[in-house]
A and B are shown apart, each in its own frame.
Chain A
Amino acid sequence: MERRALRKWLVGGPPLAYLLFFFAAPLAIMVLASFRVPGDFGGLAPLMLEKKLNLTTEAYAALFSDFLYARLFLKSFAYAALATALCLAAGYPLALLIARSPRRYRDLLILLVILPFWSNFLIRVYAWMTILGPQSYVMRALNGVLGLVGLEPVSLLYTPAAVVVTLVYVHLPFMVLPLYANLEKHDPALLDAAQDLGAGAWQRFWRVTFPLSLPGVYAGAALVFIPAFGIFAIPDLVGGTGGIMIGNVIKQQFLDARDWPFGAALSLVLMASAIALAGLAAAFGRGARA
């Protein structure tokens, strides 16, 4: 038993130590940093000031007292929630079709869903800069149609709409995979039974398939919403000034404004709200399963 304990530490010790040092410790330091005072030239002021701890809750006070940040959180929430809903609308039929395909094609189809996702994140954002650019075929066609029905031409690049479209594109596989994992396990006999009892296609879907798939819906929603909520590169590149999200402000605090305590506080509030929402989704998921 002694030797087994020794082996356990020899094998598990180094990765544990690495993650404690380079993952847990930085997070803990960030929590502390959110209570510290910004330095005169950016960064952090000394932790000890005249032999006393130089700590304050000013960053949080600033965050919660300024309506600007509440609005920014709400706006980020709205963009992420809208993107999540659109991912669900686009991803559900795809997941359903794959789950109802012959077994031998399923892995291939799922691979096809994931494959684009393995190209670099920035490339996928950049692709939409091309598509939504004012001179692109898509935009010219769109504005042509708008012109025919007598509407003013629109531009989408550097607007909130571009942010939402790109968010959907980048996160769609996150929605499809948990949905598929759930839908694949459904027993087709349930649908046969519903049909025998006289349920039409519409009823079979809304009263059998969809309720059973709710755990997958909640899991997918959490997987899309959480990364979308904190993103900064997408609004940075396609959002213009009107499309900025909370992630952009965090980035600014660390790179331009250099108010680290405030940036740390913003990041932690972001994480706390993401965890709270994920917890909520998990609770709903469990409720749906019961």
Chain B
Amino acid sequence: MTRRPAWLWGAAIAAFLFLYAPLAIVVLYSFNDSRLNAQWVGFTFSWYDKLWHNEEMLLAARNSLAIALAAAAASTALGTMAGFALHRYKPRLLPALVLATIAVPEILMGVSLLIFFVLLNITLGMVSIILAHITFCIGFVALVVRARLAGMDESLTEAARDLGATPAQAFRWVTLPLIMPGIVAGALMAFTLSLDDFVITFFTAGVGSATLPLQIYTMVKIAVTPEVNAVSTLLMLLTLTLILIATRLSPSVLRTEASR
């Protein structure tokens, strides 16, 4: 007997509508031939064209991509090491630190890093943003990689060792290829987390280092313009593509995301 009465369907469908309708409106209005975000007037690509000629926005997009690439590369390396250490060596301090970076309110991490960078005389800008993004990405990569390792057949590594492989060889030729999907998924996740971050970037950014989310924030704060719809649509398309690939590679991305 299935216990899914009509009211349950109704409530669930309403909840899905609530989740998707606002985003659908953003996408729809990005093609709307009106300066006001209020009423459908007609179809146009002009907001995308405007975007293409908006120097500030292009700079922000370049900054965002550079930051996300650098942060993803570094946090994938460090996060993979952390995930491996968590799984293999059961360290004491590392798990607490990894979980703390995920659990601590974002505003706290942003503010504490702002104080830290200023006291160390690190100029706020691209470098400080990248260092901050690496900090909050490591934990997510570590959890995805650890989940992949936990699902791996340990006897494969043991067999390699029995056959005379050194630990390094066993890692390079047996473990690493097996956990590669997890590492790639972790890297994609780190890339999107960095690309999407607003709060921590807000506190660690300086002059000329605005990222896309910061640029969107500034634009929305001053005046709502349909250009924001266009850039939002493009950004959504990019992150959704990346995350769907990551989820395909490693389903644990979903579970890790739940803990964010």
The yes or no verdict on A and B being binding partners is yes
A residues neighboring B (CB under 8 Å): 3-4, 7-8, 11-12, 14-16, 18-20, 22-27, 29-30, 33, 43-44, 90-91, 93-94, 96-98, 100-101, 107, 110-131, 133, 135-137, 169, 172-174, 177-178, 181, 188, 191-192, 201, 226-227, 229-233, 236-237, 247, 250-251, 254, 260, 263-264, 267, 270-271, 274
Cross-chain contact of B111 among A115, A191, A236, A250 (Cβ < 8 A) = A250
Known: A15-B79, A254-B111, A254-B203. A93 touches B94 (CB 8 A): no
Residue numbers in A under 8 Å from B129 (CB-CB): none
Least CB distance from A41 to B in Å reads: 12
| Closest A-B pairs by Cβ, 8 of them | A12-B85, A93-B11, A135-B38, A127-B22, A15-B82, A26-B116, A26-B112, A97-B12
User: Are the CB atoms of A233 and B16 closer together than 8 Å?
Assistant: no
Complex A-B: 9 CB contacts under 8 Å: A4-B89, A16-B93, A112-B16, A123-B235, A126-B26, A188-B3, A232-B199, A233-B198, A237-B221
Asked if residues A122 and B216 are in contact (CB atoms below 8 Å), the reply is yes
- Residue contact B85 to A15, C-beta cutoff 8 Å: yes
In whole angstroms, how far apart are the Cα atoms of A110 and B3 in the complex?
19
Chain B interface residue number, banded: 35 or more
Main secondary structure of the interface of A (DSSP, over half): helix
Q: A29 near B78 (CB under 8 angstroms)? A: no
Contact with A along B111-134 (1 / 0, CB 8 A): 111111011000000000001101
How far in angstroms is the closest Cβ of chain A from B182?
16
Q: Is B45 an interface residue (CB 8 A)?
A: no
Give the complex CA separation of A273 and B81 in angstroms. Answer: 33
Closest Cβ of chain A to B77, distance in Å, is: 8
Separation in Å of the A141 CB from the closest CB of chain B? 12
Q: Which residues of B contact A192 (CB under 8 A)?
A: 1
A-chain residues with CB within 8 Å of residue B4 when the two chains form the complex? 97, 100-101
Assuming the A-B contacts A130-B26, A254-B114, are A119 and B97 also in contact, with contact meaning beta carbons closer than 8 angstroms in the complex? no
Residue numbers of B with Cβ under 8 A of A are 1-5, 7-9, 11-12, 14-16, 18-20, 22-23, 25-26, 29, 36-39, 78-79, 81-82, 84-86, 88-89, 91, 93-94, 97-98, 100-101, 104-109, 111-116, 118-119, 131-132, 134-135, 138, 142, 167, 192, 196, 198-199, 202-203, 212-213, 216-217, 220-221, 224, 228, 232, 235-236, 239-240, 243, 247, 251, 254, 257-258
Q: Contacts A122-B217, A126-B220, A130-B26 given: A22-B113 contact, CB under 8 Å? A: yes
A sample of 15 more A-B contacts (CB under 8 A), given A20-B97, A232-B199, is: A16-B82, A16-B93, A18-B78, A22-B134, A90-B18, A91-B15, A110-B254, A114-B258, A119-B235, A126-B224, A127-B25, A133-B38, A178-B258, A192-B1, A201-B5
> Given A94-B11, A172-B19, A201-B5, is A18 in contact with B135 using a C-beta cutoff of 8 Å?
yes
Say how far B12's CB is from chain A's closest CB, in angstroms. Answer: 4
Please report the C-alpha to C-alpha distance between residue A126 and residue B196 in the assembled complex, in whole angstroms. Answer: 14
- List of A residues within 8 angstroms of B5 by Cβ: 201
Contact of B97 among A8, A23, A98 (CB under 8 A): A23
Please name all residues of chain A whose beta carbon is closer than 8 Å to the beta carbon of B113 when the two chains form the complex: 22, 26
- Cα–Cα, bound, A38→B15 (Å): 47
B88 near A11: Cβ-Cβ < 8 Å: yes
Residue contact B8 to A121, C-beta cutoff 8 Å: no
- Inter-chain CA distance A91–B104, complex, in Å, is 24
- With A18-B134, A172-B15 already in contact, the answer to whether A267 and B108 are too (CB < 8 A) is yes
- In the bound complex, residues from chain B placing their C-beta under 8 Å from that of A18 are 78, 134-135, 138
Q: Which residues of chain A have C-beta atoms less than 8 A from B91's C-beta?
A: 8, 12, 16
A25 and B116 contact, CB distance less than 8 A: yes
A97 & B131 in contact (Cβ 8 Å cutoff): no
How far does the alpha carbon of A4 sit from the alpha carbon of B203 in the complex, in Å? Answer: 41
Q: Determine the residue in chain A with the shortest Cβ distance to B74.
A: A18
Q: How far is the CA of A177 from the CA of B5 in the complex (A)?
A: 21
Query: Which residues of B have CB within 8 Å of A135?
Result: 36, 38-39
